[in-house]
Structure 1
Amino acid sequence: MNHKTYVVTGGNTGIGKAIAMALAQKRVHVVLVSRNPQKGQSTVTEIQQATRHEAVDVVVGDLGTVASTHQLATTLLESYPHMSVLINNAGIWMTKRETNEDNIEQSFMVNHLAPFILSTRLLPCLTANTPGRIVNVNAGLYVRGKLDLDKTPYGEDFSRMGTYANTKLCNLLFTRELAKRIKDSGVTVNAVHPGVIRTHLGDTAGIGGMILGVVKRFWGTPEAGAQAPVWLATSPEVEGMNGHYFDLQTATEVNEIARDDALGLKLWNLSVALAKLETFPV
């Protein structure tokens, strides 16, 4: 396993940091993506010292816009031609509607469109280094998603809980559609719910934030949340499994809307357009 290069987005904090730490303990080459260069390098140093494993790098990248995500993909392709595993872990939970320079709602961008861009752009590299894997860190809240492709990507139906659920539903629909397209390529893609984990997602000020902070004390640690994604990225038990949703380490059937192949195809085509991938062979 030690010849493989594993890329982890959102790798400088929370579950992503714990994933990177666990992978370093397995003596693989770990590349963590961080928007903040100082925090990213600090995390690399911490992991190297804790694991006594030097093959840990940071790449500075921003998943907040289409252009910056494409730039990250280009950097990864140029710097790490031996990538074989991509763990799309980075995620946000917006407390109010915000759109980026592309007029795309921010959580739709980070939670769905950025993983879409990275997965499709990096796919030729992963295919060249088979067996390859793509792991999409999802959430059980996808079941509350009620996706409207005319509104959700732009935040026109924004709600704090609903939008987060919608983006996770998008990510799951994308996982299933991509799995069909890469069948027999030597690369697999699966989604995983890591459990209810104590991270900074959804943090806010005020009474609501205080209550959430108290509740989170009873949630799992980032280290616990890293276990299922790391297992899905490394275990021979799931070799060849493709297009599945795992609740922790159990393959679980998704709900009816997440099985809607027609909706998944519409989302795929919209994502290609929003990601400016019209000329890219996906």
Structure 2
Amino acid sequence: MPLLFVAAGVGAVVLLLYLFAPHIRRYAAGGVCTSKARLDGKTVLITGANTGIGKETAWDLAARGARVILACRSVEKGEEAAAEIRSKVSGAQVEVRELDLADICSIRAFAQRFLKEVNHLHVLINNAGVMMCPYMKTTDGFEMQLGVNHLGHFLLTNLLIGLLKRSAPARIVVVSSLAHNFGWIRFHDLMSLGSYNSGLAYCQSKLANVLFTRELARKLEGSGVTVNSVHPGSVRSELVRHSTMMSLLFTLFSIFLKTPQEGAQTSVYCAVAEELHSISGKHFSDCAPAFVAPQGRNEKTARRLWNISCELLGIEWD
């Protein structure tokens, strides 16, 4: 008998979700970038743009007239995405470059070639990421999620910051997550050598994105280059492929999730919205200012993480 009640309850919930699906979808979709700004003559670089919100962001900005460069680990998948964008946008200027954010040598080789071949960079979108993967290390020995999500983009931005300044006004968009609220920078075990929890490591890397944005904005004051972080929302994408549980939950509750196009809206907003031309160091979600957890507003933590990141990567910022 109890099983019958459970089954009836589950059936009722499913029925309600079905009946209210249109309303739920409208709520889940979140904000929409309404800016009509054109990007003719502008150059945009997006990491991890061969799929998900990165590809949708690239499609939107290409449609605005920008020269869009997709920086992807897989050139083959990048070319497929570029071909799809060209098929949708007549005259789209889309290029693909190889970039593996889990390999310092790859990042440096990419930047060296990029600086030789590209004269201006007006928008850099640090979009690529990995989520809740089994414990792995990057080529250089960093824990994979911190290495790709934070350190890889930290180095890439460092190598391109001079070009961004020369191209000012320019913008940097850092794709973070609501997960930063649950993150802590574990300075005593930054690479999770003592213990590893894939979820907590992901949250740490997303908090690192927010702290990086905050400190970089401080350093860029008066340069004509702004930087803001975004939470794209919960999006149906390949990002959860490493977690069976998350994949299952995303499948069961797909009605509550954003499409990649909807998830790309805040990245697009921060890249083009006229009213953000001088806004820097902020966090956005659904195309509006968003809450930042106290640990994401701690300037002491931001500066300490910045210094440690420079040491790990063997770099200095001017």
Shift of 1:205: 6.8
Q: Which structure 2 residues correspond to residues 193-232 of structure 1 after superposition, within 5 A?
A: 193-204=231-242, 209-232=247-270
Shift of 1:155: 4.8
Query: Does 145-154 or 253-262 show the bigger shift?
Result: 145-154
Give, as a single letter, the amino acid of the residue that structure 1 aligns with 2:221.
K
Do structure 1's residue 169 and structure 2's residue 200 form an aligned pair? no
Q: Distance in 2 between matches of 1:186 and 1:207?
A: 44
Secondary structure of 2:58's counterpart equals: helix
Shift of 1:136: 0.3
Q: Distance in 2 between matches of 1:179 and 1:157?
A: 32
Q: Which structure 2 residues correspond to residues 54-69 of structure 1 after superposition, within 5 A?
A: 54-69=92-107
Shift of 1:211: 4.0
Do structure 1's residue 281 and structure 2's residue 317 form an aligned pair? yes
Give, as a single letter, the amino acid of the residue that structure 2 aligns with 1:281.
W
TM-score by length of 2: 0.84
Do structure 1's residue 254 and structure 2's residue 292 form an aligned pair? yes
Give the match for residue 216 of structure 2.
178
Secondary structure of 2:86's counterpart equals: helix
Change (3 A) 1:150 1:53: farther
Q: Distance in 2 between matches of 1:14 and 1:43?
A: 10
Shift of 1:76: 2.0
Gaps of 5+ in 2: 1-38
Q: Distance in 2 between matches of 1:192 and 1:33?
A: 19
Change (3 A) 1:155 1:164: farther
Give, as a single letter, the amino acid of the residue that structure 2 aligns with 1:13.
T
Give the match for residue 96 of structure 1.
134
Match of residue 60, structure 2, among 10, 14, 22: 22
Identity %: 33
Larger Rg: 2
Secondary structure of 1:191's counterpart equals: strand
Match of residue 124, structure 1, among 129, 154, 162: 162
Q: Is contact 1:138-1:168 (8 Å) kept?
A: yes
Higher-RCO chain (CA-CA 8 Å, sequence separation at least 6): 2
Q: Distance in 2 between matches of 1:215 and 1:144?
A: 21
Secondary structure of 1:59's counterpart equals: strand
TM-score by length of 1: 0.94
Shift of 1:217: 4.9
Shift of 1:154: 4.6
Q: Is contact 2:266-2:286 (8 Å) kept?
A: yes
Query: Does 4-13 or 51-60 show the bigger shift?
Result: 51-60
Match of residue 197, structure 2, among 159, 175, 179: 159
Give, as a single letter, the amino acid of the residue that structure 2 aligns with 1:172.
V
Gaps of 5+ in 1: none
Secondary structure of 1:81's counterpart equals: coil
Q: For each residue in 1:183-242, what CA deviation from the matched residue of structure 2 results, as whole angstroms up to 9, or x when unmatched?
A: 000000000111111111122475664344323453110000111101110111111101
Query: Does 112-121 or 153-162 show the bigger shift?
Result: 153-162
Q: For each residue in 1:23-50, what CA deviation from the matched residue of structure 2 results, as whole angstroms up to 9, or x when unmatched?
A: 1111111001111111111111111111
Shift of 1:100: 2.1
Give the match for residue 14 of structure 2.
none
Q: How large is the Cα RMSD of the aligned pairs? A: 1.6
